[in-house]
């Protein structure tokens, strides 16, 4: 299938055709009327790059360093919930593709495959952690991440309460309705539903059990996310974790400064892919002010709406040091497994090289605000 895809948009349609309806809606949808979901893509796409000519761009270098390690490009696979259900042992396949491309991958707390399983596959991911009411569970997951050798801990802070996602509600249902959606996708049903067993909630198994239905996942989310979380809790995590700590879910310059003061080693400018508070700024529009407020004190990662290598260059020009891919890699995984993820990473690599060459940038450090056209800088 990867040969049929020319870009991430093609993978989205291939994923739609392969996944059961309720799973595609969970992956593809945003909160409420999806205003922010659309803004993420549209605002980034409208940022104009500044074309430059007659510069020696015969040697383009995409490599960059983060947390003391060299990466092939300033791009990683961001945390995506339930990705293990998009392909057979999906997060394991994605981790192998990331390792082959020399880019990091972050595993979600609410993954389909557990951290132990993914780490045992040969590529130890970064781990994304949610604050929940059960601090014992949080402490246990931090210890698991330590034992696995995770290179960074991503603490997601924009989910004190879950946003309402209308598409999930419309696609929900059990019994005959759910069975009809599964039977309508026989390839997925055979490859993932049957050959991909056990299907579980990965890291949540100790709480909800190995054979818990997906409805228990939503129930657990509603019951356990903690609205009382404050910066004191971030300080508590900082004491528990001695590796790189990344605060994800920053959309305001004041919060960015508090994150840096809290002991975080990096931040992720993110609106949770348009899945939380609808109507907020897109990442592309929020990023410049945050970059200005941080002033280089800590690295800035960004996600939201990234669908191409051109988008990666735009994010870097707007002030990001590193970019996390979300739905784009999940679409590719759903469409073609690890092969699809590897292919979408190659596409982005190629697109970045063209964008850099035609803007006169030969290295990642050369991508700055003046890489953007007047009016978007």
| pLDDT the model gives residue 134 | 85
Domain membership of residue 83 (yes or no) is yes
Domain membership of residue 377 (yes or no) is no
Q: Measured between alpha carbons, how far is 94 from 78 in angstroms, rounded to an integer?
A: 11
Q: Name which residue leads in pLDDT, 218 or 168.
A: 168
Residue 295, Ramachandran bin (φ over 0: left; ψ between -120 and 50: alpha; else beta): left
Q: Are 296 and 309 in contact (CB under 8 A)?
A: no
Domain membership of residue 376 (yes or no) is no
Of all residues in the chain, what percent carry a pLDDT higher than 70? Answer: 95
Which CATH number goes with the domain that contains 192?
A: 3.20.20.70
Quote the tokens at residue 191.
């490859």
- What is the rounded average pLDDT of the residues 108-112? 92
The residue behind tokens 């601090």 is: 135
- What is the rounded average pLDDT of the residues 184-188? 92
From 21, 123, 272, 343, active-site residue: 272
Could you confirm whether 272 is annotated as catalytic? yes
**Burial profile 276-310: b = 16 or more Cβ within 10 angstroms, e = fewer:** bebebbbbbbbbbbbbebbeeebbbbbbbbbbbbb
Q: What are the backbone dihedrals phi and psi of residue 153, each rounded to the nearest 5 degrees, phi first? A: -115, 125
- The count of domains in the chain is 1
| pLDDT the model gives residue 137 | 87
- What is the rounded average pLDDT of the residues 273-301? 97
Domain membership of residue 348 (yes or no) is yes
Domain membership of residue 209 (yes or no) is yes
Residue-level length of the chain: 377
| pLDDT the model gives residue 41 | 98
pTM summary value: 0.95
Residues 6 or more apart whose CB falls under 8 angstroms from that of 239 comprise: none
Of all residues in the chain, what percent carry a pLDDT higher than 90? Answer: 79
Q: Measured between alpha carbons, how far is 83 from 111 in angstroms, rounded to an integer?
A: 6
In the sheet that 300-302 helps form, which strands lie side by side, from edge to edge?
75-77, 322-325, 300-302, 266-269, 245-250, 153-156, 126-130, 106-107
Q: Measured between alpha carbons, how far is 122 from 116 in angstroms, rounded to an integer?
A: 11
| pLDDT the model gives residue 226 | 86
Domain membership of residue 106 (yes or no) is yes
| Least confident segment among 74-88, 127-141, 190-204, 262-276 | 190-204
Q: Residue 285 pLDDT more than 60? A: yes
Instruction: Report how far apart, in Å, the C-alpha atoms of 222 and of each of 32, 199, 216, 334 are.
Output: 17, 21, 10, 26
Q: What are the backbone dihedrals phi and psi of residue 321, each rounded to the nearest 5 degrees, phi first? A: -100, -20
Domain that holds residue 56: 2-371
Q: Are 303 and 283 in contact (CB under 8 A)?
A: yes
Domain membership of residue 298 (yes or no) is yes
| pLDDT the model gives residue 49 | 97
Q: Are 79 and 270 in contact (CB under 8 A)?
A: no
Domain membership of residue 296 (yes or no) is yes
- What is the rounded average pLDDT of the residues 208-234? 75
Q: Are 7 and 347 in contact (CB under 8 A)?
A: yes
């Amino acid at each position: 299938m990867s040969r049929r895809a020319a870009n991430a948009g093609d993978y989205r349609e291939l994923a739609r055709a392969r996944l059961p309806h309720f799973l595609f809606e969970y992956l593809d949808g945003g909160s409420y009327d999806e205003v922010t979901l659309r803004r993420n893509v549209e605002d980034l796409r409208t940022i104009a790059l500044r074309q430059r000519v007659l510069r020696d761009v015969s040697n383009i270098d995409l490599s960059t360093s983060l947390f003391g390690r060299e990466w092939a490009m300033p791009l990683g696979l961001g945390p995506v919930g339930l990705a293990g259900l998009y392909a057979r042992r999906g997060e394991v396949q994605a981790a192998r593709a990331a390792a082959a491309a020399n880019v990091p991958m972050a595993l979600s707390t609410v993954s389909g495959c557990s951290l132990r399983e993914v780490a045992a596959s040969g590529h130890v991911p970064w781990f994304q952690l949610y604050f929940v009411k059960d601090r014992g569970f949080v402490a246990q997951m931090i210890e698991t991440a330590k034992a696995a050798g995770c290179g960074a801990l991503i603490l997601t802070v924009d989910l004190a309460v879950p946003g309402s996602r209308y598409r999930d509600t419309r696609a929900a249902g059990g019994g005959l309705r759910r069975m009809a959606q599964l039977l309508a996708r026989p390839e997925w049903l055979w490859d993932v539903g049957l050959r991909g067993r056990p299907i579980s909630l990965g890291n949540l198994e100790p709480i909800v059990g190995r054979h818990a239905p997906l409805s228990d996942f939503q129930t657990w989310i509603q019951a356990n996310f903690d609205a009382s979380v404050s910066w004191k809790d971030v300080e508590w995590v900082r004491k528990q974790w001695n590796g790189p700590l990344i605060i994800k879910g920053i959309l305001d310059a004041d919060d960015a400064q508090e994150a840096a003061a809290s002991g975080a080693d990096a931040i992720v400018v993110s609106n949770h892919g348009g899945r939380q508070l609808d109507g907020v700024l897109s990442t592309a529009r929020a990023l410049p002010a945050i970059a200005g407020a941080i002033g280089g004190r800590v690295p800035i990662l960004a996600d939201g709406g990234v669908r191409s290598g051109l988008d990666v260059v735009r994010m870097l020009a707007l002030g990001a040091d590193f970019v996390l891919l979300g739905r784009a890699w999940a679409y590719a995984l759903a469409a073609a497994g690890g092969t699809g993820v590897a292919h979408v990473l190659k596409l982005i690599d190629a697109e970045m090289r063209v964008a850099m060459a035609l803007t006169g940038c030969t290295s990642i450090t050369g991508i700055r605000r003046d890489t953007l056209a007047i009016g978007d800088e």
